[in-house]
Amino acid sequence: MSRQYQTNTGTYTEEELAVVVWVNPKHSSSKQARFLETMTTDDSTLPMAFPLKHLLGNRSWKNAVLTHSGAEVFETLQQSRRTKPLVVPLKVATEAFGWENFYIPTEYTL
């Protein structure tokens, strides 16, 4: 059964939510830099999840690449950048990265 997340703007299943990730450009020059970057908040270090339909419908993310499987994440990850991130559905993020916890904002705005 799919997990559901309740917010002030609606209820979302994990299939409807995604995280945005890209390769950290500092990783190649610093062994202490994390390999991946993702969006977080001041309140949480967990990857922030967004409704997939909002990400795909937002012009700010027009260069983002939607992934559908862990294999696809690993095939396209090296080409990802902050200006061309990967949009990774929560189930795929769990499969590919082992992430099980995500920051779900109390409200989504467009």
- Domain extent, residue 36, equals 4-97
Return the half-sphere exposure (C-beta side, CA atoms, 13 A cut-off) of residue 71: 0
* CA dist., res. 100 & res. 110, Å (int): 26
Asked if residue 104 is part of any domain, the answer here is: no
* CA dist., res. 12 & res. 5, Å (int): 5
Asked if residue 49 is part of any domain, the answer here is: yes
The chain-wide mean pLDDT, for the chain, equals 88
For 14-23, what is each residue's pLDDT tens digit? 999 999 999 8
* CA dist., res. 30 & res. 2, Å (int): 38
Domain count of the chain?
1
Q: How confident is the model at residue 108 (pLDDT cuts 50, 70, 90)?
A: confident
| DSSP structure class, residue 103 | B
> Does residue 60 contact residue 83 with C-beta atoms inside 8 Å?
no
